[in-house]
């Protein structure tokens, strides 16, 4: 922040153990620089900020900069901002320390080294931490997941905890509708809700991106877990199998453990109890969960204690007063930003006078992408939907009635039929031999006369190569 013709940045002094919370309006960009700090730098959801570097935030980002030791920050103008002295960071740090002890013991055990013996040895304590984070809407679950993953990475032990996102409304490293997992090797930055877990190979080209993750992604296709709980269940279990297979080959990664971020519907009374209990059970089984963290919800904590307390540590942790209540229209805008970012990357104009700033640690020019497009004949690909559009869940059928079509059945979608709802539809593309993993496109034009449609896709090689495409319920039109 050094241009003399630009407005002077403001400077605030943050006392130790306080946090500066900020929210951005649509279309605004915000910059922060740590101008001086004591021993430990400031952090955003556990990711350290380096003194003297300028960080940008965009796309209606809402976040908090926390400091353990105190610091001075320079910043441009945010739409909403305040400093809070009341934060749950000490409680979160204590959780991190307990998980760290489990990691150290698990690694010693895997290497056959002697374990540091506690007074009462508990075999559960030498298991790697496999953590499920549950809580209602706007509890701060994703922020807690990021803090715990970032603290593990920062511990200096070379941990690469597996972070799993089974919240299909959020998008993780891909787009909304996806479930994903990746070993976290570097800090997960917060700069835009369009990339809530930082950059991935899909949001920036790996050759350019310094911190890109390479996630494993499955396509569920809807924002709401109630839409097809059976498919959710299957995908969670598939993701778990893949994670466990990887752990079999990587004992050090296994010792670092798993952190699973879940959607609010797992905790919400608006979901039928049997659905959410089944999906929680799917996570517990798939990721062999041994710690459940319940963020600020007494009733859910008691429910989890009763269901799992005998063999899993269930811990209630406080909700941060800084978590912002995100309404439906904000969530819809974020889903649009995510789809746009997936296709076009993130083009950001820094505030006046701000130079040399980075977005989540990446140079601004490296984050701009350009999708390919092509016209494809209806006969050159097959499009499916899983289950039907209007299907009630099996539990809602009359007693004794059997469903004619399974919620898991692929239903062919004929682009030539009116009502296929393919125009502007987001499609997942086959990647490896009928496996649909983390590649997405959308169609912008359907020519019924010539039986062709125009598809925009991030990975050009899959434009014609992918013979199979899956439709969900997301639509996208250029912003
Ligand atoms: N301490 C804080 N100060 C300011 N903003 C925060 C703080 N903690 C979280 N937020 C913001 O509040 C919003 C909601 O937080 P988060 O996504 O972690 O909650 P969640 O429980 O995962 O949400 P969901 O309802 O989607 O499951 C996010 O924009 C996040 O960046």
Looking at ligand 1, which residue's alpha carbon is closest to its atom 23? 138
- Ligand 1 centroid from CA 455, angstroms: 34
The pLDDT, as a whole number, for residue 207 is 47
- Ligand 1 centroid from CA 298, angstroms: 19
CATH of the domain at 293: 3.40.50.300
Looking at ligand 1, which residue's alpha carbon is closest to its atom 29? 62
> Ligand 1 pocket check: which of 86, 326, 327 to mutate, most ligand atoms within 8 Å of Cβ?
326
Residues 143 and 248 grouped into a single domain: yes
Q: Is the ipTM of this complex over 0.90?
A: yes
Point out the ligand 1 atom lying closest to the alpha carbon of residue 190. Answer: 31
| In a domain? residue 326 | no
Residues 283 and 378 grouped into a single domain: no
Q: What pLDDT tens digit does each residue of the chain (479 aa) get?
A: 545 456 667 889 999 999 999 999 998 999 999 987 666 679 999 999 999 899 999 999 999 999 999 999 999 988 899 999 999 999 999 999 999 999 999 999 888 877 666 555 566 667 999 999 999 999 999 999 999 999 999 998 999 999 999 999 998 888 999 999 999 999 999 999 998 998 776 544 544 444 557 788 899 999 999 999 999 999 999 999 999 999 999 999 999 999 999 999 999 877 778 889 999 999 999 999 999 999 999 999 999 999 999 999 999 999 999 999 999 999 999 999 999 888 888 878 888 888 888 887 777 666 677 788 888 888 888 888 898 654 555 566 666 665 556 778 888 888 888 777 888 888 888 776 545 555 666 666 777 878 888 888 877 777 777 778 888 999 888 76
Q: Which of 317, 344, 361 is the last residue of a domain?
A: 317
| In a domain? residue 165 | yes
CATH of the domain at 376: 2.40.30.330
Residues 312 and 376 grouped into a single domain: no
Residues 265 and 193 grouped into a single domain: yes
- Ligand 1 centroid from CA 464, angstroms: 39
To the nearest 10 degrees (0 to 180), the angle between helices 273-286 and 229-249 is: 10
φ, ψ (nearest 5 deg) of residue 15: -75, 160
Looking at ligand 1, which residue's alpha carbon is closest to its atom 6? 323
- Ligand 1 centroid from CA 446, angstroms: 39
| In a domain? residue 196 | yes
Looking at ligand 1, which residue's alpha carbon is closest to its atom 5? 63
What is the C-alpha separation between 149 and 34, in angstroms, rounded?
Answer: 23
Domains contained in the chain, number = 2
Cβ density class 46-81: b for 16+ within 10 Å, e for less: bbbbeeeebbbbbbbbbbbbbbbebbbbbbbebeee
DSSP string computed for 60-90: T-EEEEEESS-EEEEE---SEEEEES--SHH
The pLDDT, as a whole number, for residue 419 is 74
Annotated binding site: 19, 62, 138-143
Count helices and strands (H / E) in the chain.
Answer: 8, 25
- Ligand 1 centroid from CA 46, angstroms: 14
Residues 290 and 430 grouped into a single domain: no
| In a domain? residue 234 | yes
- Ligand 1 centroid from CA 294, angstroms: 15
- Ligand 1 centroid from CA 324, angstroms: 6
Does ligand 1 lie within 6 Å of residue 214's CB atom?
no
Contact present, 24 and 79 (Cβ < 8 Å): yes
Q: The tokens of 109 are what?
A: 């055990």
What is the C-alpha separation between 320 and 141, in angstroms, rounded?
Answer: 10
Residue span of the structural domain in which 281 resides: 89-317
Ramachandran area for residue 459 (φ above 0: left; ψ -120 to 50: alpha; else beta): beta
| In a domain? residue 130 | yes
What is the C-alpha separation between 28 and 351, in angstroms, rounded?
Answer: 8
Does ligand 1 lie within 6 Å of residue 138's CB atom?
yes
> Ligand 1 pocket check: which of 45, 57, 62 to mutate, most ligand atoms within 8 Å of Cβ?
62
Point out the ligand 1 atom lying closest to the alpha carbon of residue 170. Answer: 26
In this prediction the pTM is 0.90
Q: Which helix (H) or strand (E) holds 413?
A: strand 410-413
Residues 118 and 219 grouped into a single domain: yes
Does ligand 1 lie within 6 Å of residue 142's CB atom?
yes
The pLDDT, as a whole number, for residue 181 is 95
Residues 303 and 428 grouped into a single domain: no
DSSP string computed for 85-149: S--SHHHHHHHHHHHHHHHHHHHHHHHTPPPPPPSS--GGGGSPPEEEEE--TTS-HHHHHHHHH
Point out the ligand 1 atom lying closest to the alpha carbon of residue 135. Answer: 21
Point out the ligand 1 atom lying closest to the alpha carbon of residue 262. Answer: 27
| In a domain? residue 174 | yes
What is the C-alpha separation between 2 and 350, in angstroms, rounded?
Answer: 13
Q: How far does the chain reach from its first CA to its final CA, in angstroms? A: 30
Does ligand 1 lie within 6 Å of residue 146's CB atom?
no
Residues 251 and 136 grouped into a single domain: yes
Does ligand 1 lie within 6 Å of residue 137's CB atom?
yes
Residues 242 and 312 grouped into a single domain: yes
The pLDDT, as a whole number, for residue 391 is 52
Point out the ligand 1 atom lying closest to the alpha carbon of residue 324. Answer: 12
Among residues 110, 56, 179, 73, the alpha carbon closest in space to that of 438 is found at 179
- Ligand 1 centroid from CA 437, angstroms: 27
Does ligand 1 lie within 6 Å of residue 166's CB atom?
no
Residues 376 and 307 grouped into a single domain: no
Residues 382 and 286 grouped into a single domain: no
| In a domain? residue 450 | yes
The pLDDT, as a whole number, for residue 82 is 96
Q: Which of 302, 317, 332 is the last residue of a domain?
A: 317
Q: The tokens of 317 are what?
A: 């942790």
Residues 196 and 105 grouped into a single domain: yes
- Ligand 1 centroid from CA 303, angstroms: 23
Cβ density class 161-175: b for 16+ within 10 Å, e for less: bbbbbbbbbbbbbbb
Q: The tokens of 343 are what?
A: 């296709």
Looking at ligand 1, which residue's alpha carbon is closest to its atom 10? 323
Annotated binding site for ATP: 19, 62, 138-143
Contact present, 261 and 164 (Cβ < 8 Å): yes
Among residues 41, 45, 250, the alpha carbon closest in space to that of 160 is found at 250
Q: Which of 317, 338, 361 is the last residue of a domain?
A: 317
Place of tokens 């296929």: 420
- Ligand 1 centroid from CA 351, angstroms: 24
What is the C-alpha separation between 347 and 108, in angstroms, rounded?
Answer: 46
| In a domain? residue 3 | no
């Amino acid at each position: 922040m050094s241009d003399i013709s630009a407005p002077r940045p403001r400077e605030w002094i943050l006392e130790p153990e306080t946090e500066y919370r900020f929210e951005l309006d649509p279309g605004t960009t915000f910059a922060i620089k740590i101008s001086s700090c004591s021993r430990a730098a400031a952090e955003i959801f556990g990711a350290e900020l380096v003194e003297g570097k300028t960080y940008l935030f965009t796309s209606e980002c809402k976040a908090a900069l926390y400091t353990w030791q105190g610091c001075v920050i320079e910043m441009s103008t945010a739409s909403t901002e305040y400093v809070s002295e009341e934060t749950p960071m000490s409680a979160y740090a204590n959780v991190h320390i307990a998980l760290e002890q489990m990691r150290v013991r698990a690694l010693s055990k895997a290497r056959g080294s002697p374990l540091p013996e506690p007074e009462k040895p508990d075999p559960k304590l030498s298991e790697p931490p496999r953590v499920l984070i549950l809580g209602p809407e706007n509890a701060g679950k994703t922020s807690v997941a990021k803090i715990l993953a970032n603290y593990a990475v920062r511990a200096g032990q070379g941990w690469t905890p597996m972070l799993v996102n089974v919240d299909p409304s959020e998008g993780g490293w891909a787009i909304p509708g996806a479930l994903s997992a990746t070993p976290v090797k570097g800090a997960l930055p917060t700069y835009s809700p369009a990339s809530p877990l930082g950059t991935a190979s899909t949001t920036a080209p790996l050759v350019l991106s310094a911190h890109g993750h390479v996630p494993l992604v499955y396509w569920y296709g809807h924002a709401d877990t109630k839409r097809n709980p059976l498919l959710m269940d299957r995908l969670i279990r598939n993701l778990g199998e893949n994670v466990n297979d990887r752990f079999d080959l990587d004992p050090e990664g296994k010792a670092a453990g798993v952190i699973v971020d879940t959607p609010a519907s797992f905790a919400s009374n608006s979901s039928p109890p049997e659905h959410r209990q089944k999906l929680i059970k799917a996570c517990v089984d798939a990721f062999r969960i041994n710690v459940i963290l319940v963020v600020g919800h007494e009733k859910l904590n008691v429910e989890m204690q009763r269901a799992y307390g005998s063999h899993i540590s269930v811990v209630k942790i406080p909700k941060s007063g800084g978590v912002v209540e995100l309404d439906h229209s904000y969530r819809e805008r974020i889903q649009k930003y995510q789809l746009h970012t997936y296709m076009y990357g993130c083009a950001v104009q820094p505030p006046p006078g701000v130079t040399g700033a980075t977005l989540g640690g990446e140079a601004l020019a490296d984050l701009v992408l350009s999708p390919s497009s092509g016209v494809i004949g209806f006969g050159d690909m097959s499009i499916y939907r899983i289950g039907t559009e209007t299907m009630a869940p099996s539990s809602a059928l009359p007693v004794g009635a059997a469903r004619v079509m399974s919620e898991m059945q692929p239903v062919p979608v004929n682009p030539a039929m009116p009502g296929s709802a393919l125009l502007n539809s987001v499609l997942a593309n086959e990647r490896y031999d009928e496996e649909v993993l983390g590649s997405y496109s959308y169609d912008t034009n359907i020519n019924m006369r010539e039986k062709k449609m125009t598809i925009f896709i991030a990975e050009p090689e899959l434009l014609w190569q992918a013979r199979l495409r899956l439709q969900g319920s997301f639509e996208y039109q250029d912003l």
